[in-house]
Amino acid sequence: MLAVSWGVGKPRRYPFTNAHRIVFIAGHLPLDCPSHCATGQEAQGLSGFTRPSHFDYDIVVIGGGSAGLVTSYIASAVNAKVALVEKHKMGGDCLNTGCVPSKALIRAARAAHEIRNAPRFGVTASEPMIDFAQVMGHVQQAISDIEPHDSVERYQSLGVEVYQEHATLISPWEIRVGDKTLNTRHVVLATGARPRIPPLPGIEGAPVLTSETLWSLTDLPKRLVVLGGGAIGCELSQSFARLGSQVTLVEGVANYWGARTQKSVN
């Protein structure tokens, strides 16, 4: 089987066996906004919509990830009447599948790396034993420790009304939430993005993971191919390599790392 990279120019092919796992990291779709959601132009036109005579809220925020939480917090702190609608997990990507689990994974990987490098400092150590299930337990614990800060209870205590439902924007001032319609002066779309699996030849039969699904791994993959050499692809590649996987990191843009290094140095 083959794993195929993407990017500019002709696709390149890489040897690929069933023992490989593919983690597709980098691609994200734009807002999870339903097709009937008003576009900027339509919203500016406002024709065909009747402005409500009263408003239940000053702001309704759709999406309880980092962006939506911060928006709700600040709006509530300046005494706006705020509703926050989250259809899945409070904390969104950052808490559940992004910053928090990845930083916990990095910490565990660094511990392994330091043990391997201890002899440099005159400290004798043997090869670290990695219990991957326990590493993932530590990752889940990090999420659980932070969860209360992003919880429904916390935001309600800050004066934000939280709805745990799917929101649909039905007019510039109205949002359908379950069987309710919320009227609001302003709407904030903070619906985030999600990984996209590219339509690569041969990928259909491959065991593909994304940055959302890899957190349910219980066994350390022996080998994995990480597609995408941005920050997320690099940090996950390094972590899995330090924990003992054989990692191949694929980036489609020629001289990507060199170009970025130069940019950050200048």
Ligand X SMILES: Cc1cc2nc3c(=O)[nH]c(=O)nc-3n(C[C@H](O)[C@H](O)[C@H](O)COP(=O)(O)OP(=O)(O)OC[C@H]3O[C@@H](n4cnc5c(N)ncnc54)[C@H](O)[C@@H]3O)c2cc1C
Which of 67, 182, 208, 250 is close enough to bind ligand X by CB under 6 A? 67
* Region binding ligand X by CB under 6 A among candidate stretches 46-54, 83-91, 112-120, 256-264: 83-91
Stretch of 14-22, 61-69, 73-81, 124-132 contacting ligand X, by CB under 6 A: 61-69
Euclidean distance between CA atoms 126 and 92, whole angstroms: 39
Residues 212-241: x where in contact with ligand X by CB under 6 A, - otherwise, as a string: --------------------x---------
Question: Which among 53-61, 82-90, 219-227, 248-256 is the span making contact with ligand X, rule CB under 6 A?
Answer: 82-90
Examine residue 174 and tell whether it contacts ligand X (CB under 6 A).
no
Q: How many residues bind ligand X (CB under 6 A)?
A: 26
Q: Does 184 bind ligand X (CB under 6 A)?
A: no
Q: How far apart are CA 79 and CA 57, in angstroms?
A: 11
Of 4, 16, 21, 192, the one binding ligand X by CB under 6 A? 192
User: Is beta strand 28-29 parallel, antiparallel or unpaired with respect to 194-195?
Assistant: antiparallel
Site membership for ligand X, residue 150 (CB under 6 A):
no
The distance of closest approach from Cβ of residue 201 to ligand X in the complex, given in angstroms and rounded to an integer, is 26
Is 166 near ligand X (CB under 6 A)? yes
Residue 28 binds to ligand X (criterion: CB under 6 A)? no
Tokens describing residue 112: 């392994």
Cβ distance to ligand X smaller for residue 114 or 165 = 165
| HSE-up (13 A, CA, CB side) for residue 169 | 28
Q: CB of residue 130 vs ligand X: minimum separation in angstroms?
A: 20
Shortest spacing between CB 124 and ligand X, in angstroms: 34
Amino acid letter at 71?
T
For residues 19 and 193, which CB has a smaller minimum distance to ligand X in the complex? 193
List residues binding ligand X (CB under 6 A): 32, 62-68, 85-88, 92-94, 97-99, 102, 166-167, 190-192, 211, 232
